[in-house]
């Protein structure tokens, strides 16, 4: 015999995005499913408007349909019993039956329903709601939420570019989506083959079914946005085999000045100053620095510098070095270069054969700022900073707001 789910089991399954449904022995008939789906539309109206649907000439046709439907559901003991689990909080079905005067005089129930293409034959005993979607059909429609053009996408485009760079350099990783709690403002996902950014979220509310939810503003990398529900994004991520969450930028304990027992040496960060007589270098010699990472000794790395375009075809002097332990040299070098991206020293060098090269590891930045970056790598806060050339200082990264 199958084990019954406890409340704790249900809560866990809900966090994992698995819908928990209680079925009668033998399942429900199509008619019962339609009745339930019709009542859920009434509950949604109640949730969105703060009141039950009402009769009246001043009400739109859909509210009048819901009002007629609610009257019919209240009339039959069978439907009240079927819908009791959904009606525990709202008590809509236990309300007083409508008086004859409450039903519009100018249009009877059948005419009202027929206007919307619904069969209300007496033989059915209750409206056969042919055009009411089942709960599954509605969920699938919700998950393909309408997307609109993001009018202020220019605010978000730099963030998407930054996240892409951080994925390429390993500052961020992709992981399988697991819990609804991972969906929050500032979080990133890959769904439907697109990067998605949760820019905003409303206050959490409880649905008529007793589940927590929130309305989100989700920006996509193709310049569109969606005002979708959190549970809709959760279901979309669970259904998408390629769906992923993108981790927050996290450098971790990249290295320390001292080597602990069992630590494996990984390499060295080095900072060099050029002895080139190039006019641009000579004019900014105290600020022009090459920053790199090597698994050799720095002395070995710079051997023959004057023959290598990456060293500006000139000798160099070592101005600082920092030993690394248990760290990916390539990822760390990319991380440092990202911080100083705005201060990259643009210069071309031509070798003796006339071949032009553009070295990419030279930056116009004072040595004391490089020292500050190293300290922030140690405490893993470096991912929150960028270098501002105008003030020659580190600045906290700004998110759009």
**What is the reported pLDDT for 318?**
92
User: How big is the CA angle at 40 (ends 37 and 79), to the nearest 5 degrees?
Assistant: 70
Q: What's the pLDDT tens digit per position in 300-351? A: 889 888 888 889 999 999 998 887 766 677 777 888 888 999 999 988 888 7
Give the residue, 274 or 30, on which the prediction is more confident. 274
Looking from the CA of 332 toward its CB, the CA atoms found within 13 Å total: 28
d(CA 160, CA 164): 6
Q: Among 4-8, 278-282, 390-394, whose mean pLDDT is lowest?
A: 4-8
Q: What are the two backbone dihedrals, phi and then psi, of residue 156, each rounded to the nearest 5 degrees?
A: -100, -20
**What is the reported pLDDT for 15?**
53
Q: What's the pLDDT tens digit per position in 145-190? A: 467 899 999 999 999 998 888 888 777 888 888 777 788 888 999 9
Query: The tokens of 310 are what?
Result: 């990456």
pLDDT-based confidence at 141, cuts 50/70/90? very low
Nearest-CA neighbor of 166 among 104, 249, 230, 229?
249
Q: What are the two backbone dihedrals, phi and then psi, of residue 238, each rounded to the nearest 5 degrees?
A: -70, -35
Full DSSP string of 24-80: -TT---HHHHHHHHHHHHHHHHHHHHSS----STTS-HHHHHHHHHHHHHHH-HHHH
Whether 106 shows a pLDDT value over 50: the answer reads no
The helix/strand/coil state of 368 is helix
**What is the reported pLDDT for 224?**
92
Q: Parse the chain into domains and list their residue ranges.
A: 7-137, 146-246, 265-396
Whether 118 shows a pLDDT value over 60: the answer reads no
**What is the reported pLDDT for 154?**
92
Beta bridge partners of 119: 128
**What is the reported pLDDT for 240?**
85
- Tell me which CATH code domain 146-246 carries: 2.30.30.30
CA dihedral 340, 342, 344, 346 (to 10 degrees): 180
**What is the reported pLDDT for 238?**
86
Q: What's the pLDDT tens digit per position in 353-387? A: 888 888 888 999 999 999 888 888 777 777 788 89
Judge whether 225 and 216 are in contact, CB under 8 Å. Answer: no
- Tell me how far apart the terminal alpha carbons of the chain are, to the nearest angstrom: 54
Query: The tokens of 353 are what?
Result: 């054969």
pLDDT-based confidence at 21, cuts 50/70/90? very low
**What is the reported pLDDT for 8?**
54
Whether 391 shows a pLDDT value over 50: the answer reads yes
What's the mean pLDDT when you consider all of the chain? 76
Whether 126 shows a pLDDT value over 50: the answer reads no
Query: The tokens of 133 are what?
Result: 């979607």
Number of helices (H) and strands (E), helices first, in the chain? 12, 17
Give the dihedral sign, CA 371/376/382/384.
negative
**What is the reported pLDDT for 287?**
92
């Amino acid at each position: 015999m199958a084990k019954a789910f406890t409340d704790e089991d249900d809560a866990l399954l809900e966090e994992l995005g698995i819908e928990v449904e209680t079925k009668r022995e033998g399942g429900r008939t199509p008619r019962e499913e339609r009745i339930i789906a019709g009542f859920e539309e009434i509950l949604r109206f109640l949730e969105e408007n703060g009141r039950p649907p009402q009769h009246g000439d001043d009400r739109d046709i859909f509210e009048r349909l819901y009002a007629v439907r609610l009257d019919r559901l209240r009339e039959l003991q069978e439907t009240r019993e079927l819908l009791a689990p959904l009606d525990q909080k709202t008590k809509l079905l236990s309300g007083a039956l409508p008086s004859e005067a409450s039903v519009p005089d100018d249009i009877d129930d059948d005419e009202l329903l027929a206007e919307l293409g619904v069969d209300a034959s007496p033989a059915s005993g209750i409206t056969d709601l042919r055009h009411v979607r089942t709960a599954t059909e509605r969920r699938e429609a919700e998950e393909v939420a309408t997307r609109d053009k993001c009018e202020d996408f220019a605010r978000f485009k730099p963030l998407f570019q930054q996240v892409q760079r951080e994925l390429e350099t390993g500052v961020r990783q992709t992981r399988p989506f697991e819990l609804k709690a991972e969906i929050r403002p500032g979080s990133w996902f890959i769904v439907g083959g697109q990067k998605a950014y949760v820019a905003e979220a409303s206050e959490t509310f409880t649905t008529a079914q007793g589940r927590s939810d929130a309305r989100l503003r989700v920006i996509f990398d193709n310049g569109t946005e969606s005002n979708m529900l959190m549970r809709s994004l959760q279901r979309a991520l669970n259904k998408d085999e390629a769906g992923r969450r993108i981790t927050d930028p996290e450098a971790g304990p990249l290295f320390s000045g001292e080597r602990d027992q069992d630590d494996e040496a990984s390499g060295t960060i080095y900072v060099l100053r050029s002895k080139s007589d190039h006019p641009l270098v000579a004019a900014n010699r105290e600020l022009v620095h090459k920053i790199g990472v090597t698994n050799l000794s720095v002395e070995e790395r710079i051997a023959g510098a004057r023959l290598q375009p990456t060293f500006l075809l000139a000798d160099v002097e070592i101005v600082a070095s920092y030993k690394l332990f248990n760290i990916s040299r390539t990822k760390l070098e990319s991380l440092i270069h990202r911080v100083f991206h705005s201060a990259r020293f643009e210069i071309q060098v031509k070798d003796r054969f006339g071949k032009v090269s553009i070295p990419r590891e030279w930056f116009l930045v004072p040595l004391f700022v490089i020292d500050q970056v190293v300290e922030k790598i140690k405490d893993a806060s470096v991912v929150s900073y960028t270098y501002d050339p105008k003030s020659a200082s580190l600045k906290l990264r700004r998110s759009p707001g």
